Homo-oligomer: A and B are copies of this chain.
C-alpha cells in the first residue's frame, strides 16, 4: 500500500528487477546521451541516484522538468552502480513528473543557505539535508522516549494545555480567552466580566503538567507527560521558545536517588536509540554542524554521571582557578558558566547537582531535615548546561502548606493538590526534560528555532 522508501532500498543495497520510487529531485547532471538525478523522499539523508537514458521517450522534455525540487516517480531496474559514491542506482525505464519547481523562483537551489535565511522559508526548509536530519532525529528522540517509559510500565498521560492555575510559578503566562479583545465585557465595578468567558474565569497556557501528573501518579504509580508547554517570556535568544515540548515523568514510591537513576538511564537510552536508528544523520551533524556530537553521545552513554550536592558544588566553584563573571556564594543560583565549568572542565561528563537552597527552588520540592535545602536535582551536561531539572516532591501536608504560604500563595487555591497529601500520600519524585534542548544537545544545532518545525518566538508565529 505504502510506497517503497529510499532508505529501505539503500539499506538493502541489493539489485532489483523492478522498482518504483517517488520523491523530489535534489540535483540533476546532464551528460552526453544521459542524465543523472538524485532523488530524495525524506526517509534518509542519502539520495537514490537514477540514470535517465536518452532512449526514454520525451527525453528532452522530461529532463527540462527535472529541476531541483521537482516531484517525480521513477520506475526501472535497480543495478550495481559503476560510479563512485553509491553502491546501487536506478536505471529509469519511465519517469513521471508530478510537479515542477521553477528554478527561477524556487528558493532551494543547490547552493548552501544560512539557517537564518531558511527560517524565513520554514515551510520549505525541511527539504534540505540539515533539516531533514534534524527532524528525523527529533522523531527518533520522541520514539525513544515513548519506548523507554512504555517498556517500564509508565502510562502516557495527557495533562491539559489550558489551565486556571496561575501559581505554578514559572514566569509569564499567555492568556487564553474567548472574549472579544476589542470589547472586553466589564462588570459594574469595571472588573473583567469573566462569567462571559468560555471557562468562566481567567485561563492560561500551561507552563508544566507536573501538578496534574502527580495526580495521575497517585493512582497509576508511574506516569509521564509529553506535550507542549508555554512561556510568554520576552526572551529573543537562541535558547528560548514561547512554545516547546516537555517530558515530565512522575514516580510514586520513589525518592531522589531513584529519580536520579531513572533520569540517567533515560538520557542514555535516548542517545543509544538515536545512534542506532539515525547513524547517517548523526555522522552528518558531526561533520557539518558540530564535530563534538559523536564524542558527546559517547560521553553520555559510557560515563556514570557525577552526583554531588549544591553545597559541594559551591565549594568546588569557590576554589576553582577560573574567573567567573557572576558571583558564587551559598544561596545564589548557579549560572550557566558555573554549570558548564562543573560539567565541561571539572568532571568532563554529566553532573547531577542535588539539594539546592529552598529559597531558590519551587514550593513543591521536599524540604530536607536541615530545613534550608530541598531535594532538588539538576542534570548539567557538557556544552548544553542544564538538561533536566527535577525533585523529590514534598509529601507531608503541613510542610507543603507552610512552603506554599512562604512563597506568597494560598493553600486554598491548591486544595486539590493538597488532597494528594491528605489521602494516601506517598514519597514521590519526578523530573522535566525540555525536549528541544535535548534535540539541540544531540544534534549540535546552535539555535533552538532550528530543531522545532514551526518555532514560536517574540514577534513571530509564522505558518
List residues of chain A with CB under 8 Å of any chain B CB: 1-3, 5, 7-8, 22-25, 41-43, 69-71, 73, 98-102, 105-106, 108, 122-124, 126-127, 131-132, 135-136, 138-139, 142-143, 146, 150, 152-153, 155-164, 172, 174-179, 181-182, 184, 191-192, 198-203, 205, 212, 215-216, 218-222, 227-228, 230, 232, 234, 242-243, 245, 251-254, 258, 261-262, 265, 395, 416-417, 419-427, 452-454, 456, 458-463
* B residues less than 8 Å from A191 (CB atoms): 182
Question: Are the C-beta atoms of B2 and A222 separated by less than 8 Å?
Answer: yes
When all copies of this chain in the complex are counted, the total is 2
* B residues less than 8 Å from A153 (CB atoms): 2, 5, 7-8, 43
Question: Are the C-beta atoms of B2 and A198 separated by less than 8 Å?
Answer: no
- Measured in the bound complex, the distance between the Cα atoms of B179 and A106 in whole Å is 38
* B residues less than 8 Å from A416 (CB atoms): 122-123, 462-463
Q: Give, as a whole number of angstroms, the nearest-CB distance from A194 to chain B.
A: 9
- Measured in the bound complex, the distance between the Cα atoms of B242 and A388 in whole Å is 31
* B residues less than 8 Å from A71 (CB atoms): 424-426
| Beyond A177-B181, A228-B228, 15 additional pairs, beta carbon < 8 A | A1-B265, A3-B221, A42-B220, A69-B423, A98-B427, A135-B219, A160-B454, A160-B461, A161-B243, A162-B242, A174-B198, A175-B177, A176-B205, A182-B192, A198-B242
* B residues less than 8 Å from A253 (CB atoms): 3, 22, 73, 98
Given the interface contacts A176-B205, A184-B181, does A135 sit within 8 Å of B453 by beta carbon? no
Given the interface contacts A216-B135, A463-B215, does A176 sit within 8 Å of B175 by beta carbon? yes
Please name the residue on chain B nearest to A435 by beta carbon.
Answer: B158
- Measured in the bound complex, the distance between the Cα atoms of B205 and A218 in whole Å is 30
Q: Give, as a whole number of angstroms, the nearest-CB distance from A173 to chain B.
A: 8
Among the listed B42, B106, B426, which residue makes an inter-chain contact with A423, where contact means beta carbons less than 8 Å apart? B106
Please name the residue on chain B nearest to A143 by beta carbon.
Answer: B150
Given the interface contacts A228-B227, A242-B162, does A22 sit within 8 Å of B424 by beta carbon? no
Question: Are the C-beta atoms of A178 and B176 separated by less than 8 Å?
Answer: no
Q: Give, as a whole number of angstroms, the nearest-CB distance from A202 to chain B.
A: 8
Question: Are the C-beta atoms of B1 and A258 separated by less than 8 Å?
Answer: yes
Q: Give, as a whole number of angstroms, the nearest-CB distance from A160 to chain B.
A: 5
Question: Are the C-beta atoms of A426 and B126 separated by less than 8 Å?
Answer: no
* B residues less than 8 Å from A219 (CB atoms): 24, 42, 126-127, 131-132, 135
* B residues less than 8 Å from A8 (CB atoms): 153
Q: Give, as a whole number of angstroms, the nearest-CB distance from A369 to chain B.
A: 18
29 contacts between A and B (CB under 8 A): A1-B261, A2-B152, A2-B258, A22-B221, A23-B221, A24-B219, A42-B155, A69-B424, A71-B424, A98-B253, A98-B395, A102-B422, A105-B422, A123-B416, A126-B215, A126-B219, A127-B218, A127-B219, A136-B155, A138-B155, A160-B243, A162-B174, A162-B456, A175-B178, A181-B181, A198-B242, A198-B459, A201-B461, A228-B228
* B residues less than 8 Å from A216 (CB atoms): 126, 135, 453
Please name the residue on chain B nearest to A24 by beta carbon.
Answer: B424
Question: Are the C-beta atoms of B243 and A178 separated by less than 8 Å?
Answer: no
Question: Are the C-beta atoms of A215 and B178 separated by less than 8 Å?
Answer: no
Question: Are the C-beta atoms of A2 and B174 separated by less than 8 Å?
Answer: no
Among the listed B24, B132, B258, B395, which residue makes an inter-chain contact with A99, where contact means beta carbons less than 8 Å apart? B395
Q: Give, as a whole number of angstroms, the nearest-CB distance from A165 to chain B.
A: 8
- Measured in the bound complex, the distance between the Cα atoms of B416 and A142 in whole Å is 27
Q: Give, as a whole number of angstroms, the nearest-CB distance from A88 to chain B.
A: 19
Q: Give, as a whole number of angstroms, the nearest-CB distance from A124 to chain B.
A: 7
Q: Give, as a whole number of angstroms, the nearest-CB distance from A301 to chain B.
A: 18
Q: Give, as a whole number of angstroms, the nearest-CB distance from A431 to chain B.
A: 14
Question: Are the C-beta atoms of A262 and B221 separated by less than 8 Å?
Answer: no
Question: Are the C-beta atoms of A124 and B423 separated by less than 8 Å?
Answer: yes
* B residues less than 8 Å from A461 (CB atoms): 160, 162-164, 199, 201, 203
Please name the residue on chain B nearest to A190 by beta carbon.
Answer: B182
Sorted nearest first, the 6 A-B pairs with minimum C-beta distance are A99-B425, A42-B220, A126-B219, A139-B155, A71-B424, A199-B461
* B residues less than 8 Å from A136 (CB atoms): 155, 220
* B residues less than 8 Å from A135 (CB atoms): 155, 157, 216, 219-220
* B residues less than 8 Å from A181 (CB atoms): 175, 177, 179, 181, 184, 192, 202
